[in-house]
A = this chain, B = another copy of it.
Amino acid sequence: MSARVLIVDDLFPNVRLLETKLGLEYFDTLAAMNGRDAIAICEKGLCDLVLLDVMMPGMDGFEVCRHLKNNPLTAHIPVVMVTALDQPADRLRGLDAGADDFLTKPVDDTALFSRVRSLVRLKAVTDELRQRALASREFGIGDPLALATAETGLDARILLIEDRPGSAERLAGALRQHHVVTVEPDPQAALHLAAEAPFDLALVSLDLAGFDGLRLCSQLRSLDRTRTMPLIMLAEEHDRARVVRGLDFGVHDFLMRPVDRNELMARVRTQVKRKRFTEALRGAMQASLQMAVIDALTGLHNRRYLDNHLGTLFGDEAARRAQLSVLILDIDHFKGINDSFGHEAGDEVLRGFAERVRQHTRPIDIVARYGGEEVVVILPEAGLGEAQGIAERIRERVEAVPFSVLGATRTVPVTVSIGVAVRRGEDLCAADMLRRADLALYRAKAAGRNRVESQAA
């Protein structure tokens, strides 16, 4: 994936060198000579990845990284810190600040390119999701991006695939401080485990006895159930080439042995945060989509859903031959409830009414709020007799117990009138059937309310 890489360094020759290297690999580059400019470029959404020098006058690299990772607008941009120092303490400070990786000067080309490509590819997949989330924020549905900065990355369920007992014990011991760890030495068993239990992350040893750990990684990346689970490879120095291949096909990160305990914790945390952010975005999208067909006040389906669903039920020949009944329910004198007790009490009555209707219908029935105080129930596979029975039961249960409102300080007696109709062979669309139910409802109202009436036979 090509991408725009932002190079942040206060020394021009360093910028120039990285620009040349990345340009030859067909990356687009931008440069910033200080932290402020870098942050501004990121906030404008002008880059896909940041290569960030640590030692800069003014704001140093750690501070810039923290700033980017704490802002919902920029938290999703991968940051690779570049420095002359090869001190574990510095690596750790960078990772703690939220950096996605750490490269040491002079920068090794293979390591640089494979890491940049891998991060850019992973970002391309979540970008689509992020764009939809930004749209949902524009529509005033909520702000899922704020979740990105709130997530701690702790308390994760981790699968450690490692067959050296000493190493497994050491790693699991460290991780158990903050996470729940399952150790599995056998790669086949691990594959089954991962497909069945929802792990937040897997650590995979590349040197399993008699098995290529990288193949396990590729299988985990290919299976539907595990392909979004972050993977971290555990590698020896001589595995460098395989590490690059792993990054290339979608493994998220790696740790070189002997594994530094703090680096382990930091890299695991980063991956868990990223995974949970993606999940939160997916969840928010799902919720937004669901909202489009749910009535906010009662939690029933809304009229949009009802109309779509009736369209399907009347759409094709086969569906049209099946039995189908409908009820239209209208709360009696609802206006009076609003006028006497106020709108809030009216809303409480509507919610309580919806709940009772739901309780006394079958799971296959569709209950939808049709308008103000009107509810429609679609009863598949029900004839007139059964529909009348259900309607009568609802009418009776509404009348039997008054509704409690205003923090249970008052009760309101409520009754409901119901019109019933069944589908006829000549009905071409749902409106034909609904019209008969509506007429029946009208007769129920005219005959004194608190009644069930059915379509003319």
Contact = CB atoms under 8 A, between A and B. Distances in A.
Interface string A330-351: 0000010001001100110000
A289 B292 contact: yes
Interface string A292-333: 110011000011110111001000000000000000000000
A2 B218 contact: yes
A356 interface: no
Which label, helix, strand, loop or mixed, suits the secondary structure of the A interface? Answer: helix
Contacts of A296: 302-304, 307
Contacts of A177: none
Contacts of A293: 139-141, 291
A265 interface: no
Interface stretch (A100-108, A122-130, A392-400): A122-130
Give the size category of A's interface with B. 35 or more
Interface stretch (A57-65, A219-227, A410-418): A219-227
Contacts of A309: 140
A27 interface: yes
Contact of A372 (B128, B304, B371): B371
Contact of A305 (B140, B221, B342, B438): B140
A288 interface: yes
12 contacts: A2-B221, A3-B222, A121-B124, A125-B125, A129-B132, A132-B132, A132-B282, A288-B289, A291-B292, A291-B293, A297-B371, A346-B371
The 7 closest A-B pairs by CB, nearest first: A372-B372, A291-B292, A2-B221, A26-B218, A28-B222, A296-B304, A2-B249
